Amino acid sequence: MKNIWLLLVVLIQASCSEEDTTIETPEIIGYELETVVEGINVPWGMAFLPNGDMLVTEKEGELYLVSSGEKTEVSHNFSVVEQGQGGLLDVALHPNYENNGWIYFTYASDEGDGDGANTALARAKLSGTSLTETSVLYKATPNSGRGQHFGSRIAFDNDGYVYFSIGDRGQRDLNPQDITKDGGKIYRLKDDGSIPQDNPFVGEPNVKEAIYAYGNRNPQGMVKHYQTGEIWTHEHGPQGGDEINIIKKGANYGWPVISYGKNYDGSSFTDITEKEGMEQPLYYWVPSIAPSGMDFVTSDMYPDWKGSLLVGSLKFSYLERLVIENNEVTKREKLFEDTGRVRNVKQAPDGYLYLAVEGKGIMKIMPKTAEDED
């Protein structure tokens, strides 16, 4: 009997000890924006280094290293041309960055034949505050003096292939439906720039073998789905008809044969929204929100947003949250209205969400708790 009482005392003490060390998680009651760094006029791309520092591209051509709220310019030798919507665009780390150090960039480049520029994909390594070992992996041709629709976002799939987008360069009737021409496409390369032999059009005469999908207008959002590994994109429509698409090998996304949009003057350029052999969007916006940047929320720091897709709106100056169930949008929510033209949104490895806002710089979404209100 004495041993039984001793056992009960030990169990009671252990139970009390567990209760004493339990830490309650404060209830999150909302979110607010905190400025990380100012003085970047059009922050286009964001990439997070393993030490928590951030690389930010400025459309005008500068590359910044952001650390502890301070920005330092990183020198590079990219042939960046700021031309209309073109400039220094996206930036992404190789999935195996900690071992190989490769960083990927897209930008408007004037290299090659013809006046003007077209979109290029390059990679380089960061040494201090300089880029080294720079090499151009792909350069779209021909150059054009047009200022529209350079794309361009970058994403890696689970097999280490790099995907990037190039817009139709303002030539909707020439480029998107023609796989012998660059523009209006989603491209896939090996990480060294070589062509994967299982790309859908390899071996066909005169085609651009880097093409993975086509019939796109101006994709400025791209992300790998956190569960399926699929590459998701969104693209600008004209007046109406912005789209979210899941990229499939060899698929035709229809631009400009099918569309849910109209010309900017309100006139129609196509009478159909569907056609056999052309993909329907997962979702489309009418009216257009002018989407730029996208990311899925997987962080526990935003429990009521977890699983949502976030998209920046250039036209209406807010961040949009989309709830997606079985590949259908079931809810839309406007966040941080009147913030400014949200050019990009990214979830960092530490779980925090960051916005790139034109005219303001980089902002961090901070959870608010009841304790913060006290």
CA distances from 189 to 252, 294, 358 (A): 19, 21, 30
Which residue among the candidates 94, 149, 234, 236 is catalytic per the annotation? 149
The kind and range of the H/E element at 20 are helix 2-21
Q: Residue 231: what are its φ and ψ, rounded to 5°?
A: -90, 120
Q: Catalytic residue at 225?
A: no
Backbone φ and ψ for 21, nearest 5 degrees, come out as -100, 0
277, 278, 279, 280 alpha-carbon torsion, rounded to 10°: -120
DSSP per residue, 17-75: HHHHH--PPPPEEEEEEEEEE---SSEEEEEE-TTS-EEEEETTS-EEEEETTEEEEEB
In 3-state terms, what secondary structure has residue 240? coil
What is the rounded CA–CA span in Å between residue 226 and residue 296? 7
Cα distance between the two ends of the chain: 52
State how beta strands 43-48 and 162-166 pair.
unpaired
**Residue among 22, 20, 56, 16 nearest 364 (CA):** 56
Computed on alpha carbons and rounded to an integer, the radius of gyration of the chain in Å comes to 23
Question: Which residues form the catalytic set?
Answer: 149
